[in-house]
């Protein structure tokens, strides 16, 4: 067990991170789009869900191990893709990848990461998944797919929920938008965090590592143009997914699905999985919380897809809630970055994984459920799920 210095929850990690980080950096990570309604909704919907224990079931051999995409992982959660994670501290991508490998959970490297696929592959090995923003330039996307293939990645996560950059008011107010024009308040505040500033000044320079070609140039595009052109793309449609499906021979996951019809389309086009996600409340502020729409999505696609959920998962109870409502697996974003900010590169990532895994095991055993694969809506109260759908087991009970 890693020393957690009196920190026991993701919430405490976030509180410490708030003190350790310059405000603009904390806001960039924590903030959501618009009025941050989706951000708040993600948490509120989790907290409304009660789990119904089943008494006197032998859980002496309870396990948190799950199998997805043909591989066993120590627990049903992984690290969500996050661009610019090294803003927390230089080395954050590497530290999270190392802990994911050691604790055996997946680490999803973002297209917008500042560490290269090859560097992270050497650390995370087959715990690495790669996230692709298909963007507007098909040749750039094809080159990234090729690079991920050559690096030995077997799970590609294609994010489809940023057709345009989001309006994030905190970033605008802090001047942390592209082009970068930090406000005076932001500059003064950074000065009040000398430890962060020193690391930022003397650590590795941040660059779009996955767009640097062999000669070290950045694909001929200036940074600002690059971000708007390659990451977000209003012209994206399902034909691009068909193309990616043809080009990618391994597991393909579509991230950013909220609509049951879209889940069906993803299955029809040969995706192996989806991430039911509202991007952590960072894109469409009016979006529903993924945990709300999850039962309808499971109902729409049955067992045709592996269903992964993210956005607002913060505790072992939340992981169990997600699985009981139809997910096979969850991803978490912000908690991993806050763990690094709170406890550092070497202890933070391992501590947060251990905390979440222990919480999840504790929940499982309280519920009388020895195996995550058995978590279903019979553990929900009320048993009728949010979409008003009765499980086959419930139908039988009527």
Query: Which of the residues are catalytic?
Result: 279
Distance CA 133, CA 59 (A): 42
Name the segment binding ligand FNR (CB under 6 A); options: 75-83, 94-102, 339-347, 349-357: 75-83
Size of the site for ligand FNR (CB under 6 A): 21
Residue 82 touching ligand FNR (CB under 6 A): yes
C-beta of 40 vs 361, nearer to ligand FNR: 40
Q: What is the token pair recorded at 263? A: 């889940």
Distance CA 122, CA 268 (A): 34
Looking at 4, 10, 114, 131, which residue binds ligand FNR (CB under 6 A)?
131
Looking at 141, 209, 332, 342, which residue binds ligand FNR (CB under 6 A)?
332
- The distance of closest approach from Cβ of residue 83 to ligand FNR in the complex, given in angstroms and rounded to an integer, is 3
- The distance of closest approach from Cβ of residue 36 to ligand FNR in the complex, given in angstroms and rounded to an integer, is 12
Distance CA 26, CA 186 (A): 11
Residue 145 touching ligand FNR (CB under 6 A): no
Q: Name the closest residue to ligand FNR (Cβ).
A: 333
Residue that is written with structure tokens 């055993």 in the block: 365
- The distance of closest approach from Cβ of residue 60 to ligand FNR in the complex, given in angstroms and rounded to an integer, is 32
Looking at 13, 17, 49, 80, which residue binds ligand FNR (CB under 6 A)?
80
Report phi then psi at 370, rounded to 5: -75, -10
Distance CA 101, CA 105 (A): 7
Residue 45 touching ligand FNR (CB under 6 A): no
- The distance of closest approach from Cβ of residue 275 to ligand FNR in the complex, given in angstroms and rounded to an integer, is 7
- For the beta carbon of residue 3, count every other beta carbon within 10 angstroms: 10
Residue 23 touching ligand FNR (CB under 6 A): no
Per the CB < 8 A criterion, the answer to whether 49 and 318 are in contact is no
List helix spans (H) across the chain: 10-20, 23-30, 37-47, 92-103, 117-124, 138-150, 169-174, 184-191, 194-202, 223-226, 238-247, 260-268, 290-301, 316-324, 334-367, 392-397
Residues that bind ligand FNR (CB under 6 A): 29, 80-83, 110, 112, 131, 159, 255, 277, 279-280, 282, 310-313, 332-334
């Amino acid at each position: 067990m890693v020393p957690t210095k009196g920190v026991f929850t993701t919430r405490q990690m976030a509180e410490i991170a708030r003190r350790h980080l310059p405000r603009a950096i904390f806001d960039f990570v924590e903030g959501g789009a618009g009025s941050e309604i989706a951000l708040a909704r993600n948490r509120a919907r989790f907290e409304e869900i009660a789990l119904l224990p089943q008494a006197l079931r032998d859980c002496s051999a309870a396990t948190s191990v799950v199998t997805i995409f043909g591989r066993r992982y120590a627990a049903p959660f992984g690290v969500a893709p996050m661009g610019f994670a090294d803003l927390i501290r230089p080395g954050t991508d590497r530290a999270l990848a190392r802990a994911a490998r050691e604790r055996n959970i997946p680490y999803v490297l973002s297209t917008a990461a500042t560490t290269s696929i090859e560097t992270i592959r050497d650390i995370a090995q087959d715990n690495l998944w790669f996230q692709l923003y298909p963007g507007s330039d098909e040749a750039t996307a094809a080159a990234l797919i090729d690079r991920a293939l050559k690096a030995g990645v077997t799970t590609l996560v294609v994010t489809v929920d940023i057709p345009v950059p989001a309006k994030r008011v905190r970033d605008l107010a802090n001047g942390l938008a592209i082009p970068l024009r930090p406000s005076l308040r932001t500059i003064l505040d950074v000065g009040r965090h000398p430890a962060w500033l020193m690391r930022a000044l003397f650590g590795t320079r941040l660059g779009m590592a996955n767009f640097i070609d062999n000669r070290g140039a950045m694909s001929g595009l200036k940074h600002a143009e690059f971000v708007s052109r390659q990451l977000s793309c209003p012209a994206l449609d399902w034909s691009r997914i068909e193309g990616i499906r043809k080009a990618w021979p391994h597991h393909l996951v579509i991230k950013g699905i909220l609509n049951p019809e879209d889940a069906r389309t993803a299955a029809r086009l040969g995706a192996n999985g989806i991430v039911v996600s509202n991007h952590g409340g960072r894109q469409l502020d009016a979006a529903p919380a993924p945990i709300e729409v999850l039962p309808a999505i499971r109902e729409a696609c049955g067992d045709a897809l592996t269903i992964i959920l993210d956005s607002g998962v913060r505790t072992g109870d939340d992981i169990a809630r997600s699985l009981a409502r139809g997910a096979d697996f969850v991803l978490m974003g912000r908690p991993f970055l806050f763990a690094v900010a709170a406890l550092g590169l070497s202890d933070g990532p391992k501590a947060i994984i251990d905390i979440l895994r222990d919480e999840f095991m504790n929940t499982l055993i309280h519920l009388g459920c020895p195996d995550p694969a058995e978590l279903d809506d019979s553990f929900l109260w009320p048993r009728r799920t949010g979409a008003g759908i009765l499980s086959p087991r419930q139908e039988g009970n009527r």
